[in-house]
Amino acid sequence: MQDFMSEDAIFCGVFDGHGPHGHLVARKVRDDLPLKLLSFLQSQESRQNGLNNNCFGRKTKLEGDSEKDGSTEDNLGSLWREAFLKSYKAMDKELRSHPTLDCFCSGSTAVTIVKQGLNLFMGYIGDSRAIMGSKDSSDSMVAVQLTVDLKPDLPREEERIKRCKGRVFALQDEPEVPRVWLPFDDAPGLAMARAFGDFCLKDYGVISIPEFSHRILTERDQFIVLASDGVSVCLEYSMHLILCFYFVKDSLP
């Protein structure tokens, strides 16, 4: 989504559904989440007008303002963090109250980024990934993973789930896939700790609160790949092919 909020801002996202109605949940999140994020950002910007015109990175820094860079960057990150948290919360609330979309045992991941100038803001839940192709000090291309797979066996995720009486274990025939289960039944077996929807598990530790990050891009950062878990598993082994393709794509027919 180009011209997101301003001419130099771009929104990108990947939403991977799961469960019987996961494709519908993912489609709903795809259509509505960017609008919610934009709405919260515009609301925050209105409150900030007159206080700090730099909060959304739209005003060029003046010479001699370097000592203010740290506080401005902190304010910028805080504003965007709040917008991501509120928009994800509002999205999940809308799904819960939707009159026709059954999200009880269906849900969706999300990995969302906004690039505005050299600022990259990112929020994500579930196990979809963001991977950046960047040049290292020797000018070689390397893959930089920007996200962490929010799986149920991550210590902080598992601790929260168990504290809420949910259970985490893998089935015997797939010991490498930890899943979240109800305390009283071996169901539904969700393979992630955070997701939109999946309301059967929301009282047992599964949440929709996104991880947030803010980074300043440099000239070494070339591109970003967003992918669902099925694709990103392959990327672990073939990212070098994508990096090579980046350099030769202009010569392809």
**79 within a domain of the structure (yes/no):** yes
Q: Which domain holds residue 63?
A: 9-251
Question: 3-class SS at 242?
Answer: helix
Q: Quote the number of domains for the chain.
A: 1
Q: Give the bridge partners for 213, in sequence order.
A: 122
Q: Record the tokens describing residue 124, joined without a space.
A: 């994500």
**15 within a domain of the structure (yes/no):** yes
pTM for the structure as a whole: 0.86
> pLDDT by residue (tens digit) across 21-64?
999 999 999 999 999 999 998 887 777 665 555 445 544 443 44
Nearest one of 216, 220, 211 to 57, comparing CA atoms: 216
Q: Give the bridge partners for 2, in sequence order.
A: 10
In 74-218, the DSSP E strands lie at 107-108, 110-116, 119-125, 129-135, 141-145, 167-170, 178-182, 185-190, 196-197, 211-216
**24 within a domain of the structure (yes/no):** yes
> pLDDT by residue (tens digit) across 136-191?
899 888 888 899 999 999 999 999 999 999 999 999 999 999 999 999 999 999 99
Give the CB-side neighbour count of residue 210, counting CA atoms within 13 A. Answer: 32
What's the distance, CA 171 to chain centroid?
A: 28
**2 within a domain of the structure (yes/no):** no
**4 within a domain of the structure (yes/no):** no
Residue type, 203: D
Query: Under a CB-based contact definition with an 8 Å cutoff, are residues 95 and 196 in contact?
Result: yes
CATH of the domain at 58: 3.60.40.10
Any residues with CB less than 8 A from the CB of 69 and at least 6 apart, and which? 61
Query: Which pLDDT belongs to residue 40?
Result: 92
